[in-house]
């Protein structure tokens, strides 16, 4: 991706399941529960968000944990408070939603041509949440 990270869908999925399990995967503790809680909680102040160089409105429903975005306010279907993850600059998208006990991964190699998320991402995440049957 744009940050130089390389992975597979399987490995990314294992990472995501470990996050959803609050640091455990396959019966092995990898990260402490407090570490996961710190990673997935918004640490940005309103002042920091106000001076950010992201596009206008970016922080209206997001915050930043340790290494990933955290959704703080619902404003459309896939933006569910408590959901965390990130959209990579080369098209990969991963988010986990602990409330729904789900994660999904979109692997593409399509560079964003705008600071606003591509339609593909919005459509993908909308479909993920529409598929929940309960």
The mean predicted confidence, pLDDT, of the chain is: 89
Cα 86 from Cα 58, distance rounded (Å): 13
Q: Would you say residue 110 lies in a domain?
A: yes
Q: Would you say residue 1 lies in a domain?
A: no
pLDDT at 70 over 90: yes
Q: What is the pLDDT of residue 22?
A: 97
Cα 19 from Cα 102, distance rounded (Å): 11
Number of domains in the chain: 1
For the residues of 71-122, what is the DSSP string, one character each?
Answer: E-S-SSTT--TT-EEEE-TTS-EEEEETTTTEEEEE------SSSSPPHHHH
Q: Would you say residue 4 lies in a domain?
A: no
Q: What is the pLDDT of residue 128?
A: 92
Instruction: Work out the average pLDDT over 121-128.
Output: 89
Q: What is the pLDDT of residue 113?
A: 78
Which residue range(s) make up the domain with 33? 9-130
Strand 24-25 to 28-29 pairing: antiparallel
Q: What is the pLDDT of residue 91?
A: 82
Q: What is the pLDDT of residue 2?
A: 60
Q: What is the pLDDT of residue 48?
A: 94
Q: Would you say residue 3 lies in a domain?
A: no
| Residue 17 belongs to domain with CATH number | 3.40.710.10
pLDDT digits (tens, 9 = 90+) for 72-100: 988 776 778 999 998 887 888 899 999 99
Q: What is the dihedral of CA 127, 132, 133, 134, to 10 degrees?
A: -150
Q: Would you say residue 2 lies in a domain?
A: no
Confidence band, pLDDT 50/70/90 cuts, at residue 119: confident
**Dihedral over Cα of 20, 54, 89, 115: its sign:** positive
Are 59 and 47 in contact, with CB atoms under 8 Å apart? Answer: no
pLDDT digits (tens, 9 = 90+) for 15-49: 999 999 999 999 999 999 999 999 999 999 999 99
Structure tokens at 2: 């744009």
Residue with tokens 């992975």: 7
Confidence band, pLDDT 50/70/90 cuts, at residue 116: confident
């Amino acid at each position: 991706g744009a940050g130089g990270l390389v992975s597979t869908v399987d490995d990314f999925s294992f990472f995501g399941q470990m996050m959803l399990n609050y640091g455990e995967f396959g019966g092995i503790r990898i990260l402490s529960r407090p570490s996961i809680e710190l990673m997935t909680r918004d640490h940005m102040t309103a002042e920091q968000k106000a001076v950010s160089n992201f596009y206008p409105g970016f922080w209206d429903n997001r915050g930043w944990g340790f290494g990933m975005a955290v959704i703080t306010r619902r404003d459309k279907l896939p933006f569910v408070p408590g959901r965390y993850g990130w959209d990579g600059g080369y098209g990969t998208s991963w988010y986990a939603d602990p409330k729904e006990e789900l994660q999904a991964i979109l692997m593409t190699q399509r560079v964003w041509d705008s600071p606003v998320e591509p339609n593909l991402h919005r459509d993908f995440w909308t479909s993920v949440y529409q598929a929940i049957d309960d």
